[in-house]
Structure 1
Amino acid sequence: MANAPVRTKRPSAQPTSNASRELGKVPPQALDLEEAVLGALLIEKEAVNDVIDILHPDSFYKDAHQKIYTSIKDLFSKSEPIDLLTVTEDLRKRGELDLIGGPFYLTQLTGRVGSAANVEFHARIISQKHILRELIRISSSTITDAFDETTDVFDLLDRTESDLFGVAEGNIRKSFDSMSVLIQQAIQRVQELSQKEDGVSGVPTGFSDLDKITSGFQPADMIILAARPGMGKTSFALTIARNTAVDFKKAVAVFSLEMSSLQLVTRLISSETELTSEKLRKGNLESHEWEQLSTKITALSEAPIFIDDTPALSVFELRAKCRRLKAQHDIQMVVIDYLQLMTPGGENKGNREQEISTISRSVKSIAKELSIPVIALSQLSRSVETRQGPKRPVLSDLRESGAIEQDADIVMFLYRPEYYGFTEDEEGNPTDGVTELIIAKHRNGKTDRVNLRFVDHLAKFVNDGDNMMEMLSPLAPNDDFSTNFVKRSSRMNDDFESDDQTPF
């Protein structure tokens, strides 16, 4: 009985941050497999390729194993040979050789495995043990904070979900990256971009002149699209979403706080089929227009566009939904219509300017966390209307908060002269459909203006050089098209066959 384990629960002045220690359990680990994997890396040079994308130093439970794997990974990044001698020498240069047990311990590792055949399978088990430890750490921290009455519940929920998302994505929060790693990543990115002929490194918009300036919307960028009401913000954002999803097969999430999802889809159908929204709302279509609808809707129906029309969406809800869409559908871009209709959520109460500042910072953090561009639509103040001459917007016209222009990587304004009744521009050219996309701020490039065309009856934007006549002519009936429509000859034809009868 003297050797029987006795479980006692000692009182604690405060909750411990280590759940494993609190429960008297050993954290999940697989030391034997860690030794087998490291031994395989030391005896088989090809084994590194199998595990380099699965494991990182923190995946190992034992501190000595973390140091050994860090040395192996650094040698691999320098394209240097990896074996018992090179790793020993590298650890000696780092001053860590004695800390891991000396050359004798490395020699022992090579004797722990006879072959590297199962190294990938073993590496995945090590990774799973690391994930379990991270879940225990997050849960323990969450429990501690949940018992603290001063903790904001929404902040705690957001932080916990963020940590869990990081574990799921394999991006455990880290404090820094070394310069050698960052330079290697930058050079690799330049090499990848050099293989592209169009020069678009980010998410393409389908507008050639805009993509030339921005090289596509870049990951982690917050893009503000602002204009006065009725200028076409939503139409332009939808056109970008359509181009990205249909033409380039990249998933896009659209959060509409102003219009319902059905209204947005009707706009997309009108733009895609070149049938006016009025006809679609009334259902007043000719037979060939039904055929036109059926023909052109296929690509749009298969497009990876996800629309959420939750009203008064909070920043917390937006972040949670974006994380979920990123994990489930790998969205490459987010569109928010529009920023001023969002709520900060939680206990972030204050004046409207402070609320917009909180929303703006949160949207930027979402873009950075998920490494995707976020397009946020924004209203402009009425000061644009009182301006003399051309009423082109400037950065100071952004409504309610200067934080928007500070947080944004790109700020774009839509300007249509005909909106203000200008029938001719400064050079005497007609302004029908003429649109200027003014890039007023571009953190990583130049500011410029992009000329576009606005197709009013379809509520869509196109490149300035596109053939407008193609959008004005409906699709002609096609006898070879197979539909569910039944064609019958008119009874008036039967009447004309008899000379004795008249059609009226």
Structure 2
Amino acid sequence: MNSEISTLSEVIKRIKEERRLKYTTGFPSLDAIMQGGFSPKLYLLAANKGMGKTALMLSMIYYQTMRFQIPCAILTTKINQNFVFRLPLMFDHYPIHRVYTATAPNLNAMCRYIRDIMQKGVKVIYIDDLTVPFEGRTSGLSSDEIIELLRMLSCLTMEYQIAIVVLSDIDYCFEDEGYGRPNECHLCLPSEATEKIYNTIFIHRPEYYGITCDEYGIPTVGLAEIIIGSAVCNLCFDKSCARFLEKGEKERESDNITRRLFS
């Protein structure tokens, strides 16, 4: 009996600890299917080109830093000034000063930057592109380099109890028969590399393929499906600002605009 109580106590303690180490995505509907948000793990944010990977990343960072006071960082192998110029166009009062950005010319520099940025209390790190070459090379990372990079990042998440989210393209073509969604079969990664990833978050915008209703007949215009495993939540994609919003927030914004027009 005592051993059972002890075991139950350990389970409860572990659950509380896991909840404490959850970092919100900034979107309640996405947090719901992620059981509270990001854990201190390695995640992949994957989609076809043009689906809005960078837009979702920047939208998450806005809510995390602005509403929840979670320090975030963007790490890229490309010049990061493009992000800085884009942020004020997405949301009013985007907290640029709270978003740390840096470039990494090689794996060692990336590892060193992550260790240094932890001193600033950063909890979520986004890596803009997994396939961009280092050191000014014209070719992307090799399979072995990708595996080594993800292995290193996975170790850092455990060591520092942070979430790392890596953006990556997929190779997905909508199937004419039935209603298909992207899954891990469409990842452009070596199979061994996926073993290092805790969860993959897919972005799918049916409207992009000319699909106006899902398999249940629900309109998909203006919506983006965020897919984790078999779970799906819908976010609104605001084309005018290239940002993502909760459905309720999009409706409130529309109501506010209407009131201003007729007041």
TM-score bracket relative to the smaller structure: 0.7 to 0.9
Match of 1:293 in 2: none
Structure 1 residues 460, 236: CA separation in 2 closer, same or farther (over 3 Å shift)? same
1:438 lines up with 2:227 in the alignment: yes
User: Measured at CA, do residues 332 and 191 of structure 1 come closer, stay the same or move farther in structure 2, by a change above 3 Å?
Assistant: closer
- What is the deviation of 1:415? 0.3
Cα distance, 1:340 vs structure 2: 1.3
Aligned residue for 1:371? 161
1:174 matched residue in structure 2: none
Distance 1:357 1:363, change over 3 A: same
Q: 1:190 to 1:422 in 2, by over 3 A?
A: closer
Q: Which amino acid aligns with 2:161?
A: S
Q: Is the 8 A contact 2:126 2:164 kept in 1?
A: yes
What is the SS of the residue equivalent to 1:454? Answer: strand
TM-score, normalised with respect to structure 1? 0.45
SS at match of 1:361: helix
| Alpha-carbon distance, 1:423 to partner | 2.7
Hey, what does 2:250 align to over in structure 1?
467
Cα distance in structure 2, aligned partners of 1:386 and 1:435: 15
Contact 2:75 2:128 in 1 (8 A): yes
**Mapped partners of 1:272, 1:370: distance in 2:** 30
- Matched-pair contact (CA < 8 Å) for 1:223–1:411: yes
Aligned residue runs from structure 1 range 442-457, under 5 A? 447-457=230-240
- Secondary structure of the 2:43 match is strand
CA distance in 2, matches of 1:200, 1:434: 31
Using a 3 Å threshold, how does the CA distance of structure 1 residues 211 and 246 change in structure 2: closer, same or farther? same
Q: Note if 1:399 corresponds to 2:193.
A: no
Deviation (angstroms), 1:266: 3.0
Q: Which one has the bigger strand percentage? A: 2
Superposition map of 1:40-59 within 5 A: none
Partners of 1:330 and 1:469 in 2: CA distance: 33
SS of equivalent residue, structure 1 residue 340: coil
Structure 1 residues 335 and 386 mapped into 2: Cα distance closer, same or farther (>3 Å)?
same
Query: 1:111-150 counterparts in 2 under 5 A?
Result: none
Shift of 1:427: 3.9
Residue 5 of structure 2 corresponds to none
Change in CA separation of 1:475 and 1:243 when aligned onto 2, cut-off 3 Å: farther
| Residues 158-177 of structure 1 aligned to structure 2 (within 5 Å) | none
Query: Aligned-pair distance for 1:466?
Result: 2.5
Q: Note the 1:137-286 alignment, pairs <5 A.
A: 188-191=13-16, 201-214=21-34, 215-219=36-40, 221-258=41-78, 260-273=79-92
- The Cα shift of 1:319 comes to 0.8
**Shift, 1:439, TM fit:** 0.2
Q: CA offsets per residue over residues 246-281 of structure 1, 9 Å max, x none?
A: 1111111101335x43321233212212xxxxxxxx
SS of residue paired to 2:70 = coil
Unaligned runs of 5+ in 2: 1-7, 136-140
Counterpart of 1:315 in structure 2 is 107
More helix by percentage? 1
Q: 1:336 aligns with which of 115, 127, 133?
A: 127
Q: Which amino acid aligns with 2:242?
A: A
Letter in 1 for 2:125: V
Number of residue pairs the alignment of both structures matches: 247
| Change over 3 Å in CA distance of 1:269–1:353 after alignment to 2 | same
* Aligned partner letter, 1:415: H
Q: Is the 8 A contact 1:315 1:342 kept in 2?
A: no
Distance 1:231 1:188, change over 3 A: same
SS in 2 for 1:250: coil
CA distance in 2, matches of 1:318, 1:467: 36
CA distance, structure 2, for counterparts of residue 423 and residue 187 of structure 1: 45
1:423 matched to 2:218: no
User: Matches of 1:426 and 1:188 in 2, distance apart?
Assistant: 41
Distance 1:330 1:476, change over 3 A: same
User: Partner of 1:375: helix, strand, or coil?
Assistant: strand
1:352–1:400: 8 Å Cα contact kept in structure 2?
no
Greater C-alpha radius of gyration: 1
The two structures have a TM-score, normalised by structure 2, of 0.82
Specify the code of the residue in structure 2 equivalent to 1:360: L
2:173 paired with 1:385: yes
What is the rounded CA distance, in whole Å, between the counterparts of 1:427 and 1:354 in structure 2? 42
Q: Contact 2:170 / 2:186 at 8 angstroms: preserved in 1? A: yes
Identity of aligned residues (%): 26
Per-residue CA distance 1:360-401 (angstroms, 9 max, x = gap): 2122122122210100011112xx226334441111111031
CA-based RMSD: 3.0
- Residue in structure 1 matched with residue 118 of structure 2 by the alignment: 326
> Structure 1 CA distance, aligned partners of 2:258 and 2:127?
32
User: Where does the alignment leave 5 or more consecutive residues of structure 1 unmatched?
Assistant: 1-182, 194-198, 274-296, 345-350, 441-446, 478-504
- Return the alpha-carbon distance in structure 2 between the equivalents of residues 368 and 410 of structure 1: 15
Post-superposition CA distance 1:186-233 (Å, at most 9, x none): 65454567xxxxx675111111122123222112x0011100000000
